[in-house]
């Protein structure tokens, strides 16, 4: 127990130092805004996966879940923008999951950067018009391949039983009008 407690403290300190170093690459505000966006939009991914499971169960497949996620985030931003003030306290307490370390709450990470969650304006939370994904060669093909792998994994773990005529190697398009929003 004592080792775990000491390791957790060191891990958190290391994460805060990493945030400071990250801010040096651009600015404290840019990193703070990115961290807040992660806090705001993290809950969207499980909703996208649940919708994906529903579509797979009906024998339909999304082509690229990353594109779907982007569309849903944009929709969530448009819907929730007017309630940003009321969301700030909850978002400030979010903790980014990490496979080997524990991140402190977002409010602590922002404080280390000299920022508060109230410093981030609602319009800064809009999904990027030109996402970093555009820097990756053949991103569309990678997105489709990863979506197929996600679908195969969902079937393998029993999260969904697709209709018999559904081939998980075929990319059938699903209309985005059925997407979850917030």
Domain ranges, residue 92: 2-178
- Mean pLDDT, the chain, rounded, equals 83
Q: Report the domain count for the chain.
A: 1
Can you give the pTM of this predicted structure? 0.75
Tens-place pLDDT, residues 60-80: 999 999 989 989 998 888 876
Tens-place pLDDT, residues 122-144: 889 988 888 888 899 999 999 99
**Closest residue by Cα to residue 39 from 103, 82, 100, 113:** 103
């Amino acid at each position: 127990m004592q080792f775990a407690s000491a390791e957790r403290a060191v891990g958190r300190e290391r994460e805060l130092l990493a945030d400071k170093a990250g801010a040096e690459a651009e600015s404290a505000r840019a990193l703070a805004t990115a961290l807040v966006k992660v806090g705001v939009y993290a809950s969207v991914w499980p909703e996208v996966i649940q919708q994906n499971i529903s579509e797979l169960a009906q024998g339909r497949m999304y082509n690229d879940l990353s594109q779907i996620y982007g569309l849903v985030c944009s929709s969530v931003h448009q819907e929730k923008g007017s309630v940003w003030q009321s969301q700030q306290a909850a978002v400030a307490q979010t903790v980014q999951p990490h496979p080997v370390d524990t991140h402190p709450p977002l409010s602590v990470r922002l404080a280390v950067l000299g920022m508060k969650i109230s410093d981030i304006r609602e319009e800064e939370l809009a999904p990027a018009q030109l996402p970093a994904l555009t820097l990756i060669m053949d991103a569309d093909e990678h997105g489709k391949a990863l979506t197929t792998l996600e679908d195969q994994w969902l079937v393998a773990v029993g999260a969904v039983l697709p209709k018999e005529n559904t081939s998980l190697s075929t990319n059938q398009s699903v209309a985005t009008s059925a997407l979850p929003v917030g």
